[in-house]
Amino acid sequence: MQSSAYTQVHEGMDVCDRDGNKIGKAGETLGDYFNVDAGFLGTKEYYVPFDAVTEVRENTIYLDAYKDDLGRLGWDQRPDERMTSASTRMPASTSTSTSTTTGDRMELREEELRARKTQTEAGRVQLGKEIVEEERTIDVPVTREEVFIERHPVDRHPADAPIEASETETIRVPVHEEQVEVEKQPVVYEEVGIGKRRTQETQQVSDTVRREELRTNQQGDVDIRENRENRDR
């Protein structure tokens, strides 16, 4: 069955791996594969099967593989060369019995979880200023003059002039004081800066995966011996 990505992939689109790392530009279509021009000025070529495409979005093709694994997957070879190379690498079957039988092969598959990260906007921070009013009081020392009168008795002696009924004598003393005038002067009291820094945390993702297991159906008197090589998961 032909992949649905067959009609979505067009020449010149960006091709990225699972993490969004750019691999190159999509080229011509070769049956169930399409060419990817990578490297400096397209000096490196990959041949990607359409069923490896997970998403086509905003003129970008995302693959179900990592950029560093493309050579290991054999995508650096043309599809026809890949089949020839695979058949060449297949080990010849050997047997110690008196007869040799070529058996059929079955591949068992399983699904693996791979995570792809995308940048999303979590929120925004905006700095601004507003004016608030508050009442403040300051203490200001001021000086004022006050009048004091000193009176003290003297030895009695004749005055220089007689006392006239209409005669008066006045002493005027000016009294001063300081008055406070208030003025306001704007001053800078603090500076505010804003920036961003990256922090990293670990998130757990889980999903249900499927795996193919071998089932045998034995009919008649048949001996079955299983030669299984252990592999690390």
**pLDDT tens-digit map of 139-161:** 989 898 998 888 989 889 888 87
User: Is-above-0.85 flag for pTM?
Assistant: no
Which domains can be identified in the chain, with CATH numbers? Answer: 4-87 (2.30.30.240)
Burial 143-179 (b: 16+ CB within 10 A, else e): eeeeeeeeeeeeeeeeeeeeeeeeeeeeeeeeeeeee
- Phi first, then psi, for residue 67 (nearest 5°) are -60, -40
Q: Answer yes or no: is pLDDT of 30 > 50.
A: yes
Checking if the pLDDT of 93 tops 80, the result is: no
Chain mean position to CA 119: 6
Tell me what pLDDT residue 82 has: 67
5 compared with 82, residue with greater pLDDT: 5
